[in-house]
Amino acid sequence: MTMGTRHGLGRAVGAVLRRLRRHRKLLLRTLSERTGLSVGYISQVELGRNSASVETLTKLAEGLETQLGAVITEAENYVPPTAHDVRIAFLNKTGIDGMCLTCSCGWECPLGFNASPDAAFANAQRHRQEQTGRQP
């Protein structure tokens, strides 16, 4: 079952719009200027907290230089990231190369997948410092 049918197409469309905006390195403010929609409203649509009309979605798609049909198609096949995917992205963004809950030496973070990103990051930093003898 796809994201569009199980969790609501609106949330999936919002996630796709956010991914496209970030991929194009556009700020919410820039998309707001392109579409005439408020920053807050665009954010709410991207988060799936506010539904948008076809006209509004068309404006957003055009502001992102794509077609609404392509957004809908991608949304129908959208699979939300897992907590593990989110943690990998968080830790990679903060500079720990390839270290999620398991770093390249095979050490597994005893905090597990349910740890907060801050706790997992701090634990991974401590481990890296122990392995290298220096600050990450």
Residue range 30-58, pLDDT digits in tens:
999 999 999 999 999 998 888 899 999 99
CA distance 133 to 136: 9
42 and 97, same structural domain?
A: no
Domain boundary among 76, 100, 118: 76
Domain boundary among 33, 59, 76: 76
59 and 9, same structural domain?
A: yes
- By the 8 A CB rule, do 35 and 21 touch? no
90 and 61, same structural domain?
A: no
- Number of domains making up the chain: 2
62 and 87, same structural domain?
A: no
Query: Average pLDDT in the 85-114 region?
Result: 50
87 and 66, same structural domain?
A: no
CATH of the domain at 67: 1.10.260.40
9 and 72, same structural domain?
A: yes
| pLDDT tens profile 1-35 | 344 444 578 888 998 999 999 999 999 999 999 99
105 and 60, same structural domain?
A: no
Domain boundary among 76, 102, 117: 76
Residue 38 CB burial class (10 angstroms; 0-12, 13-18, ≥19): exposed
Give the pLDDT score at 79.
73
50 and 108, same structural domain?
A: no
Residue range(s) defining the domain that contains residue 21: 3-76
Count the alpha carbons within 13 Å of 121 in the hemisphere toward its beta carbon: 14
Calculate the dihedral angle through the C-alpha atoms of 59, 62, 66, 67, rounding to the nearest 10 degrees.
50
